[in-house]
Structure 1
Amino acid sequence: MPPTVAAPKRRFGGTPAQILSALKFYKVLAYATGSMLLLLCLELVLRYGFQSVLMAGGTNSVTGASHGLGFVSIDGGVMAVAGGVNLSTLVLIVHGWMYVIYLIADFRLWSLMRWSFGKLVLIALGGVVPFLSFIVEGRIHKEVLGEVAANPKAGKRY
């Protein structure tokens, strides 16, 4: 009979409470970043497909009338509305900063779970590939809960 080899002990980089906290932070950021990425895709279709941007406020340069909320054509890179807030550009900026925070959440969870570097890359791709953050988040959530439940003493570091 061959000798039985015990499975290696699973060790986490933190306690189960820290891991579940990181998982919750990651989940919130995954959904927020995924939603902003979908808005970003819509904005890019409007900008490059229909040559228009979403503007709030401002004044029409030609007629002098005030502009409320709506789409503005960008013919040759020039908008007919001066002033106001370009909501299309705001979506770009918010998604960019949200992705940075999403990467921090990814790194925190990855380091606490002590996963391979490839898994960090896969999780990070969730913020740049449309719909992927929702799919990856669901799988990661199940995996983390399963590993924490299967290894209750793995988080005891001292």
Structure 2
Amino acid sequence: MLTGEAIAKMVDFSAGNLHDVDHLLHVFGLAKAIAEGEGLDAETLHAIELAAVVHDIACPLCRKKYGSAPGKLQEKESAPLVREFFAGTDEPQETVERIAWVVSHHHTYEPVEGAVHQVILEADWLVNTSEGVRDGRPAPTRPAPFFATRTGLGLFAAMFPPVAQ
């Protein structure tokens, strides 16, 4: 499946929820930047791009079913939705299963299982944290302990520079 097709399908799936659309595009952009900055191969980059697009696929269901969409409920509900999203596409089943696993663990910070998981964790954390800062929460002074990529750490430093005292 082409990444652009996945984005269009996920925007449609978001049913006009502009926060969800903005969030997925922001995570997608940072995930792509991290993956490319780390020099990951094309197959891994493609899986990262698709995982970034669908990482919050369970949010609408969780909001409807539970009244909110905390991370652990997203993880619980996401795998079948990911499989359904990619059903009938040309995406290899192995890639779909990897994406389903990563999306089902995108709020599980230990252990980190491979490059796709690492990049999605870092990109989503950066976006969630920046959204929190925009909403008035204090900016972090250090990245989350699971950060491991040079590019993710660089993005953190650029997004959350030390505040002059």
TM-score by length of 1: 0.26
Higher relative contact order, chain-length normalized (CA < 8 Å, sep 6+):
1
Q: Name the structure where strand makes up a greater proportion of residues.
A: 1
Larger radius of gyration: 1
